[in-house]
Amino acid sequence: MLTVAVLQQKGGSGKTTLAINLAAAAHLDGRRTLVVDMDRQASAFDWSAAREDGSPLDGLAVVKADRAIALPRFKEIARGYDYVFLDGPPRLGDVTQSAAVAADVALLPIQPGPFDFWAVAETLESLDQADQVREQLGRTPIRRVFVVNRAGAGTRLAREAEQELRKSGGELAGVVHQRVAFPDAASRGESVLTSPAAYAAADDIQRLWRALKGGKHGPQPQEAKPRTKREASEGGRGEARRGRKAHRRRRA
């Protein structure tokens, strides 16, 4: 079983959109898949309730858990599934910590621009704290994976965000572009993968899904070598500092 926690302390970064579409990719790939909605707004749970019978996504399980889950309880909930996606809350706290302790991978969406880069440093610090708990439980540090999310196609900000993440030494799984197909599919309880004419959006999700699968079943790429907790945290803080400098240069 692979558990992916989609985490970012800044609200509006597109965590739920990534979680449900990646879960859809796993489900359509023939994997037993579960989404755990850990946000009190319960958007992922509402998404599943909006789906009509006969959908290709029938059988994709979604449960609500907007409180911190102890690891034994999480294992009980996730038993029997191949992939579990945790849709994290918009603020750091006990719920985020419990997700980071339970997961194998932390998927960190970052929108192009300085604000998300500044916010990710706090998320990385929270993951460092979770790693201390994981160590006590005999678990290895959580794998940290970035995705540039809601990127404008062909924009300078999107290119800069991708370049900065690659330079940081962090593992960049891919880029997902801002497309109207995502909210349109979500409003019907569907994924861009099950929506007609959503080809470009579906390609973004499929590339991201392949990157996550490859990280589980094959060797990780060069930039994905495990880093110490200090290196991982400093990498995120470095991104924050570079983001602030770039923002000041643009304002000047």
pLDDT tens column, 142-190? 999 999 888 877 666 666 666 666 665 568 888 899 999 999 999 999 9
Query: Per residue in 18-58, pLDDT tens?
Result: 999 999 999 999 999 999 999 888 999 999 999 999 999 99
pLDDT tier at 93, thresholds 50, 70, 90: confident
- Give 55's contacts (C-beta < 8 A, 6+ positions apart): 189, 190, 194
CA distances (Å), 132 to each of 100, 125, 128, 139, 238, in order? 11, 11, 7, 9, 22
Per-residue pLDDT of 188-245, as tens digits, reads 999 999 998 899 999 999 999 999 888 653 333 333 333 333 443 344 444 344 444 4
Q: Structural domains in the chain?
A: 2-251 (3.40.50.300)
The answer, yes or no, to whether residue 128 has pLDDT greater than 70, is: yes
Residues in the chain: 252
